[in-house]
Amino acid sequence: MVRLTGTNWFGFNASERVFHGLWSGNVTEITKSMADRGINIVRVPISTQLLLEWKAGTFGTVNVNTYANPELAGKNSLQIFDFWLELCKQYGIKVMLDVHSAEADNSGHVYPVWYKGSITPELFYQGWEWVTNRYKANDTIVAMDIKNEPHGTPNDTQRAKWDNSTDVDNWKYTAETAAKRILAINPNVLVLVEGQEVYPREGETWSSPNTDPDRSPNYYYNWWGGNLRGVKDHPINLGANQDQLVYSPHDYGPLVFNQPWFDKPFDKTTLTNDVWRPNWFYIHENGTAPLLIGEWGGRLGQDARQDKWMTALRDLIAEHRLHQTFWVLNPNSGDTGGLLLDDWKTWDEQKYALLKPALWQHGGKFVSLDHQTPLGGAGSTTGISLGQRYGDGGGEGDTTAPSVPGQPTASNVTSSGVRLTWAASTDNVGVTSYDVLRGATVVATVSGTTYDVTGLTANTAYTFSVRARDAAGNVSAASAGRSVTTAAGGGGGDQGCSAAYKTVTSWSGGFQAEVTVKNTGTSASTGWSVNWTYPSGTTVGSVWNGVTATPAVTVRNVAHNGALAAGASTTFGLIGSGAASTPADITCTSS
C-alpha cells in the first residue's frame, strides 16, 4: 500500500501561466523544501486553454524573476514546467495534473463547468489527450485530476449533474469519457474524479425545482466538487481500467464558506456522520475505490470552528490512511493562506505542524512514491524511497501477519442489511484491506473498518467476522464472530434502528446512563430492542422507558415509545452498579 500525501501549487492555471511565487522565490529551493518536509506529490492546477496553447506552440511572456531563478532564464512556460518535473524527479516527488478551469484565468475555477466560450467539450478532451501523450513515458506524472470542482445548481445557467445520461452537462459521462481517452494513451496513470455541488434527494430528479434548501430541499448540497453521493447510484465505469480510478472530494471550513453544519455544535464524529460519510467517506468504507481529498486546508488561529474542523479532518485522514493534497503551498490564496509565508521561503510552522501527521511516514522518515529516489533526493536525512520502505519488493520477505481485528459491532440492522464496524489491526508493514466473512464465506474486501452488508433475508440469524491482509499477502486469523438477526420484513419500507449509549454521571460503585434509539429505516416501527454486554461486575439496577433482561442486557420498548416514525428517536435511561463504561457491542433491532 502506498499513500499519496502532498499539497497544491497553483499558477499555471492562471493568467500568468506559470507557478506563482517565482517572482521572488527560487523554484529549486521551494521544491527541495517540499520534499524535505514530506510532500510526496504536488497537485498542479492548469487550464485547458494553456494545454491547447502548449500543443500549438504558443507561448507568452512569463512572470519569473530570473535574478532569483537564474536556472529559468530564457525559458517559456512549458520549458519551466519540464525543468520543474526534473527537479521533482531529483527530489523524489510525484506530480498530479489538475484541469482547474477552461480558460487561463485567476478566477476561472468559479465557472461551474469544463467548457466555456471557444473551449468546447471536445477541446477539453483533446487537451487531456495531448498532455497525456507528451508525458506518457515520464513516470514523475502519476495522476490526472480530470476537472476541478464541477458545480452549479438547477437554477444556474450552467451546472454539473451526475446521472447515466450523455447530456453535455453530465459530469459523470464527461469524466468517464475523458478518463477512457486518457487511459487509452497511458493505462498506468491514475485518473481522479471529483464530485459536484448538489445531488437530488430520494424521490427527486434533476428536473425537480431548486427550492429554498432551508425550507423545502429537493437536493443535497455540499462543497463544490465535494458531493459524491451519485457514486452510490451511478458509479464511474472504466471497464478493464477500473483499478486506475480514484474519487477525489474537496472539503473546507467555515472561513471559506459558513456551511449550515458549522452553525451548530460539531466534532469529528458529527462531521463524519452528517457530512463526510454521506457525501464521500462511504466510498472508502465500502471499498468502492480509493479516495484522495484533493483540497482541504485554511487559516489557523482566526476562528475556533475553523481550527476544530481542520483538526478533525486531519485526524480522519491519518486514522484511515487516506490520500490527500493540502490546499495550498501558495501564501497568496486569499481565503486559506498557504504553507509558505509571503516571502515564498519561510514555512508557516503552525500550519505545517497540523499537516505533518497526515503525511506518509515510516520509522520517523517521510516516504517517497519513487522506488529508487528517497524523498528529499540522494543523501536525504528526512526521507526514504518506496524501495527502502518495502525492501525493494513491495513487501516481499515480510512473513508477519497482521494482528487479529476487533470483533465487529452491528448497527443499523434492517430486514435486509446491517452495518459492521471493527477495531483496526496493526502490522509491521501496513494493513492493506480486510475480508468480511459471513460464516466461512468472504462477502467483501474493504480498505476501511466499516462495511454495510446488504441483500440479507428478513428475520434470519447471521454470523459475521473479519480478517486483515497486508501488502505481502499475509492474512490474520479471523476475529471473534458477531451474531446478528435481521429485522422482520413486510410493510411499505425497510426497518432499522441505531442505538447511541452515553454515561450521564458516575460515582463510586455506580453510574447513570441513557441510550437514544433512532429509527434509521424508511418506514415506521412498532417496537425495538437494544442489546449489549457489560464487563464482569457491572449490572443494571433499574431502567425507565424500557424493560430489561439479563445477563447480557436486552432493553425493549414500553407501550408508549415503541412506535417511531422514520427518522424519529426516543431515549431510555438506567442506573447501574459497578464501573461505568461504554459497551462496544451495542445493537438495535426494530420491528
- If you count them, how many residues does the chain have? 591
What residue has cell string 522565490? Answer: 25
3-class SS of residue 48:
helix
Which of 16, 176, 197, 295 is labelled catalytic? 295
The residues facing 453 across adjacent strands are 418
Decide: 413 and 454 in contact? Cβ < 8 Å: no
- Cβ distance 162 to 234 under 8 Å? yes
190: left (phi over 0), alpha (psi -120 to 50) or beta: beta
Q: In Å, what is the CA distance from 50 to each residue of 190, 216, 388, 405, 447?
A: 21, 42, 38, 49, 37
Exposed e or buried b per residue across 297-310, where buried means at least 16 C-beta atoms within 10 angstroms of its C-beta: bbbbeebebbbbbb
Q: Is residue 295 flagged as an active site residue?
A: yes
H-helix or E-strand containing 125?
A: helix 121-134
From 16, 149, 176, 194, active-site residue: 149
- Active-site residue, 122 included: no
The continuous run of DSSP H or E covering 555 comes out as strand 553-556
3-class DSSP state for residue 497?
strand
Q: What are the start-end ranges of the H helices in 213-359?
A: 230-233, 268-271, 282-285, 304-320, 349-355
Q: Which stretches does DSSP call E strand in 459-509? A: 461-470, 482-485, 496-507
What's the rounded Cα separation, in Å, for the pair 84 and 19?
A: 10
| Phi-psi group of 568: left, alpha or beta (phi > 0 → left; psi -120 to 50 → alpha; rest → beta) | beta
Q: Which residues contact 114 (CB under 8 A, 6 or more apart)?
A: 48, 99, 102, 121, 124, 147, 150, 174
**Phi/psi at 69 (5° precision):** -130, 65
Find the helix packing angle between 27-36 and 77-91, rounded to 10°: 30
Known catalytic residues are 149, 295
